[in-house]
Amino acid sequence: MKKSVILGALTIAGLSAGAAAAGTLDDVKARGKLNCGVTTGLVGFAAPDANGEWKGFDVAVCRAVAAAVLNDPNAVEFVPTTGKTRFTALASGEIDMLARNTTWTFSRDVDLKFTFTGVNYYDGQGFMVPKALGVSSAKDLDGATVCIQTGTTTELNLADFFRANNISYEPVPIETNAEGQQQYLAGACDTYTTDASGLASTRATFENPGDHVLLPEIISKEPLGPLVRHGDDEWGDVVRWTLNALVTAEELGVTSTNINEMAASTENPEVARLLGTEGTLGEMLGLDADWAKRAIAAGGNYGEVFAKNIGEETPIGLARGLNAQWTNGGLIYSPPFR
């Protein structure tokens, strides 16, 4: 934000209109800051901490991209967006990329003209119920009152699920997670539904987490990932391969602590290509050779980011599950660096 508000006003007046549609990559480099859209606050994924610093799983992706492109993981301007505003913010160029647990769907990709650059978290919509209710399956929820956090694909999944099972329910749409929790704990709804990761992180903050269970059904596929505007493929490639670099680093055992030794002494040609000691991958991407090294050093590889923000050691306590490396039976799989 070098441009002051007054100069900004002059910009509107058309006096210095311009900024021809150069590529986003050049824009970001010229600006020296990456504008990254995140959620307004979901602990573990993106939320400001007590010191006002953004922390979380999605935030780490933004920082990795900033490190790769700008050589500074802190050169990120986090733009909080709601479910309503995120797509406009991206489409209008207010943000360069959106890392806001956004589900990759056909219509968003095709109709709204966005490019999803991969999946950083495989999620699915689940249900949380109080243990006392004695419900063991989502199919037992006939006639239940369901609190839904609006703004994602949850409403649609919920409608589909209950319709497919021919059972009825009463939806109570809720704006923020905190309010959903208040309603749920007061018994104003029988069950609370949102992405299973969100449920886990919500339950972790309860006074008595043990009194509540997550039902086994996962009623939807929610591949969450960062996205960019359609049509700017160079920039899309940068974001996609930064994410892939984090994944590949975990697969190859490159961590933020051993990355320098690895770079200096590796025998593995793929590690060498990844870390830029061999080949010209960075150049092809429009960056320098060390781009992936910086991205990994910023917050660690995929596994480290996961463990630090939402892993089992954290209050959120999510198991890797589907988000384990493919070598461990999960879905996290990066195309090769070659």
Partner 1 sequence: MSDIHANSVAFVRTEEVPTAPPPSNAAGPAKWIKDNLFATPLNGLLTLVALYFIYAILSSALPWILGGIWNAPSLSACRDILDGASAACFAVLTERWNQLLFGFQYPDDQYWRPGLAFILLFIAAAPVLFFDLPRKLLAFTALYPFIAYYLLWGGTIFVPILALVGVAGGFMVYQRLVAGSFAAGFFGGIAAAFAIWYIGGLLIPDNASENAALSAVPSRYMGGFMLNMMLGVTCVSLSVPIGIALALGRQSSMPLIKWICVIFIEFIRGVPLITLLFVANVMLAYFFPPGSGVDLFLRVVIMITMFSAAYIAEVIRGGLAALPKGQYEAADSLGLDYAQAMRLIILPQALKISIPGIVNVAVGLFKDTTLVSVISMFDMIGMIRGPILASTEWNGVYWELFGFAALLFFVVCYGISQYSQWLERRLATDHR
Partner 2 sequence: MTTLTDPPRESFNLSMLINDTRYRSTTFQVLAFILLSLSVGYLYSNLAANLQAQGLRIDFSFLGAPAGYDINQRLIEYTSQSTNARAAIVGILNTLLVAFLACLMATIFGVLAGVLRLSKNWLVSKIMAFYVEIFRNIPVLIWILIIYGIMTVVLPGPREFRGDNPTSTMLLDLFAFTNRGVYIPAPVWGPGSMVVVATFIASVIGVIGYRRYATKLLYDTGRLLPMGWPSLAIFFVPTLLMFFLMGMPIGLDVPALKGFNFQGGIKIGAPLIAIWFALSIYTGAFIAENVRAGIQAVSRGQTEAASALGLRSGRVMSLVVLPQALRVIIPPLISQYLNITKNSSLAILVGYADVTATLGGITLNQTGRAIECVVLMMLFYLTISLLISAVMNVYNKSVALKER
Q: State the residues that interact with partner 2 by CB under 8 A.
A: 14, 21, 83-84, 87-88, 91-92, 107-108, 111-113, 132-133, 141-145, 150-153, 155-156, 158-160, 162-163, 169-175, 182-183, 186-190, 229-231
Is there a contact between 4 and 42 (Cβ–Cβ < 8 Å)?
no
Residue 10 interacts with which of partner 1, partner 2, none, CB < 5 to 8 Å by class: partner 1
Residue 312 interacts with which of partner 2, partner 1, none, CB < 5 to 8 Å by class: none
| C-beta of 6 vs 21, nearer to partner 2 | 21
Q: Look at residue 136 and give its three-state secondary structure.
A: coil
Is there a contact between 282 and 276 (Cβ–Cβ < 8 Å)?
yes
Render the burial of 214-242: b for 16+ CB within 10 Å, e for the rest.
Answer: ebebbbbebbbbbbbbeebeebbbbbbbb
The tokens describing 296, both together, are: 């990994």
Asked if residue 228 binds partner 1 (CB under 8 A), the reply is no
DSSP annotation of 324 reads: S
Residue whose tokens read 């050779």: 289
| C-beta of 169 vs 306, nearer to partner 2 | 169
Asked if residue 74 binds partner 1 (CB under 8 A), the reply is no
The one among 23, 29, 40, 71 contacting partner 1 by CB under 8 A: 40
121 vs 301: CA distance, rounded Å: 14
The one among 28, 34, 36, 43 contacting partner 1 by CB under 8 A: 43
Instruction: Compute how many residues bind partner 1; rule: CB under 8 A.
Output: 55
Is there a contact between 36 and 102 (Cβ–Cβ < 8 Å)?
no
Asked if residue 183 binds partner 1 (CB under 8 A), the reply is no
Stretch that binds partner 1, among 40-48, 115-123, 216-224, 298-306 (CB under 8 A): 40-48
Looking at the chain, the number of H-run helices and the number of E-run strands are 14, 14
Nearest approach, Cβ of 208 to partner 2 (angstroms)? 16
Nearest approach, Cβ of 5 to partner 1 (angstroms)? 6
Residues 12-31 as x/- pattern, contact with partner 1 by CB under 8 A: xxxxxxxxxx-----x----
Beta-carbon contacts of 198 under 8 Å, excluding residues fewer than 6 positions away, are: 42, 149, 177
- Strand 222-224 with 97-98, pairing: unpaired
Nearest approach, Cβ of 52 to partner 1 (angstroms)? 4
Residue 36 interacts with which of partner 1, partner 2, none, CB < 5 to 8 Å by class: none
99 vs 112: CA distance, rounded Å: 16
Nearest approach, Cβ of 256 to partner 2 (angstroms)? 37
| C-beta of 156 vs 284, nearer to partner 2 | 156
Helix (H) or strand (E) holding 26: helix 24-31
Nearest approach, Cβ of 112 to partner 2 (angstroms)? 5
Is there a contact between 213 and 268 (Cβ–Cβ < 8 Å)?
no
The one among 23, 48, 317, 330 contacting partner 1 by CB under 8 A: 48
Nearest approach, Cβ of 286 to partner 2 (angstroms)? 21
Looking at the chain, how many residues does it have? 338
Asked if residue 186 binds partner 1 (CB under 8 A), the reply is no
DSSP annotation of 327 reads: G
Handedness of CA 333, 323, 86, 10 (dihedral sign): negative
CA nearest to 36, candidates 121, 87, 103, 98: 98
Asked if residue 77 binds partner 1 (CB under 8 A), the reply is yes
Nearest approach, Cβ of 129 to partner 2 (angstroms)? 10
Interface with partner 1 (CB under 8 A): 1-2, 4-21, 27, 40-43, 47-52, 77, 79-82, 84-85, 88-89, 92-94, 175-179, 181-182, 185, 204-205, 207, 315
